[in-house]
Amino acid sequence: MSRVNIGGISVDENQPAFILAEIGLNHNGDVSLAKKLIDVAVSAGCQAVKFQKRNVPLVFRESDLNKPREAPADFLVKAINRGVLPRVNVARLVSSNFKDATYGDAKWALELIESEYREIDNYCKTKGILWTASVWDNTSIDFIERFDPPFYKIPSPSLTDDSLLRLARSTGRPVVLSTGMSTVEEIDHAVEVLGTRDLVLMHCVSTYPCELEDINLSVIEFLIKRYNVPVGYSGHEKGVYPSVHAIAHGARLIERHITLDRTMWGGDQAASLEPKGLSLLVRAARVYEKSRGDGVKKVLESELVKMEVLRRFPSKTVVA
């Protein structure tokens, strides 16, 4: 299996799993909330946090952006004050007293602007944690390049976007590619476009939350054998056990959404880990890794004293 270096941390079969806390859009357009989530990740012992960056009109169909979607009025007011909503959206929301919100309003309101990312960049540096973003379109790569990210994450819906894959690869940065909602043939093609150098594939099931019977952790071993690159697991299940078990299946990078409270407004909150859950995941992963061993059966020095006291019959050499 090849090795991938992410921000000075080696992702390979001989190292502890790289644990990535996905803040995603769970900051709800609030940098102060984003900082609290960064603190949660640092406290838990994660190696990096990740956001999501996309050009809303490029990524979503206009028909979907115009669909009604309830959103808290204070969330929309903050978005207007931050200047992230198009003027036509602002006029419609104000005239309807924020009762005529759409899917598009919510998506625009969740996007962070450059000054906010600058603040996040500085905060992560002071906290000693890496950060990056899932990039959903070419302009988002151009945007995030300004911050010298340690790697790019390509989300599952974008696995078939050859232009995006080629641009991500052209930056010279490692690429982490999620494989949810994708066939083996589609993954084959994406790997052909990207090449296997500095590539991590992520087993992923794109349902939120994901039912246990749908997780299929054995796919991790299949991906390792087929592509001979580090493979990780991007989980959307409730709880932490499958994510820890994924390491036993060979996952070298674990990604989970995080939140302060799963009952908060937002599409990814319910499938996220709260602070205690994230800390439990990291602790359980490190316990497993410490106890996994090398698979070589031997008598330990610590066993010799007990052997002397408890073993009544000496070893016998069997001659074939």
Residue type, 309: V
- Average pLDDT, whole number, for the chain? 96
Predicted confidence at residue 314, as pLDDT, reads: 77
Q: What is the 3-state secondary structure (H, E, C) of 171-187?
A: CCCCEEEECCCCCHHHH
Predicted confidence at residue 2, as pLDDT, reads: 86
Partner residues linked to 201 by β-bridges: 177, 231
Residue type, 35: K
Domains in the chain and their CATH numbers? Answer: 4-54+111-295 (3.20.20.70)
Predicted confidence at residue 115, as pLDDT, reads: 97
- State pLDDT tens for residues 69-110: 999 999 999 999 999 999 999 999 999 999 999 999 999 999
Question: pLDDT confidence of 318, banded at 50, 70, 90?
Answer: low
Phi and psi at 253, nearest 5°, equal -140, 125
Residue-level length of the chain:
320
Distance of CA 40 to the CA centre of its chain: 15
DSSP 8-state class, residue 83 = T
Contact 153, 78 (CB under 8 A): no
